[in-house]
């Protein structure tokens, strides 16, 4: 299990050959007797095109997701306590 995890972690750094390496990793992971890992590999196979893109392309939307997460956090903290102008002020200054 540890070897499979380390090999998968190496794929998380985007590179051109990662799509082929992912296919061999899935095959070797399914050959093991680890049911939870089988469920993970089935999930990868269901959306293989998106997983291949994530592992091969250098583009991502992490900064956008970070801003969305921060905005939702501030909104949850202020729920029922203040008006929209204060929420806007906290988002713009935070």
pLDDT band at residue 88 under the 50/70/90 scheme: confident
- Residue 84 and residue 38 share a domain: no
Q: What is the pTM of this model?
A: 0.65
CB of 28 within 8 A of CB of 47?
A: no
Query: What distance in Å separates the CA atoms of residue 54 and residue 52, rounded to the nearest whole number?
Result: 5
The conformation of residue 1, written as its DSSP 8-state character, comes to -
- Residue 52 and residue 66 share a domain: no
Alpha-carbon torsion (25, 26, 32, 33), positive or negative: positive
- Residue 70 and residue 27 share a domain: no
- Residue 7 and residue 52 share a domain: yes
pLDDT digits (tens, 9 = 90+) for 10-69: 999 888 999 999 999 999 999 999 999 999 999 999 999 999 998 999 888 888 889 899
Give the range of the structural domain holding residue 81, as residue numbers without chain letter: 62-93
- Residue 45 and residue 27 share a domain: yes
């Amino acid at each position: 299990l540890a070897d499979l995890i380390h090999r998968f972690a190496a794929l998380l750094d985007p590179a051109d050959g990662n799509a082929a390496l992912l296919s061999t990793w899935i095959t070797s992971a399914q050959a093991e007797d680890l049911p939870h890992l089988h469920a993970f590999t089935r999930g990868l196979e269901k959306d293989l095109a998106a997983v291949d893109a994530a592992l091969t392309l250098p583009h991502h939307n992490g900064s956008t997701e970070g801003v969305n997460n921060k905005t939702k956090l501030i909104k949850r903290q202020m729920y029922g306590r203040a008006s929209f102008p204060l929420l806007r002020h906290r988002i713009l200054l935070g």
